[in-house]
């Protein structure tokens, strides 16, 4: 099966600009997660979609970040306006529904590296 696909792989923008990251999960995976790793820190949870619904967005840093998953397929994460501290690698991951089916077994995408100058 195809893996989790993320686009772009690398984006360089100036402070104040807008960037939209896209994630295509594995087909049939209802759960979609966004994580982020900033320089020198551990990978941190941002939010969780179940199909098109936000299940948990407790990790979103602030209201400059907006995530959507229209139709329950691909997801986008928009940062507007971007700040210097938003630089890092944004990972998307997906999993099946139900703990017995491996809901806690995540497949990660290769990540989108964001550099804000």
Binding interface with another protein (CB under 8 A):
31, 33, 35, 41-45, 48, 50, 55-56, 91, 93, 95, 99, 103-106, 108-111
DSSP label at residue 29: -
Q: DSSP 3-state assignment of 39? A: coil
Report the alpha-carbon distance of residue 21 to residue 58 in Å, rounded. 19
Cβ proximity to another protein: between 61 and 81 the closer is 61
Q: How far is the CB of 56 from another protein (least distance, A)?
A: 5
Cβ proximity to another protein: between 65 and 91 the closer is 91
Cβ proximity to another protein: between 48 and 69 the closer is 48
């Amino acid at each position: 099966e195809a893996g989790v696909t993320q686009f772009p792989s690398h984006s360089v923008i100036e402070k104040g600009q807008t960037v939209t990251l896209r994630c295509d999960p594995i087909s049939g995976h209802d759960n979609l997660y966004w994580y982020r790793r900033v320089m020198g820190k551990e990978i941190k949870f941002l939010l969780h979609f179940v199909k098109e619904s936000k299940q948990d967005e407790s990790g979103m840093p602030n209201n400059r970040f907006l995530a959507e998953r229209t139709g329950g397929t691909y997801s986008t994460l928009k940062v507007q306006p971007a700040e210097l501290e938003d630089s890092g690698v944004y990972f998307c991951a997906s999993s099946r529904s139900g703990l017995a089916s491996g809901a806690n077994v995540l497949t990660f995408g290769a990540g989108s590296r964001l550099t804000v100058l």
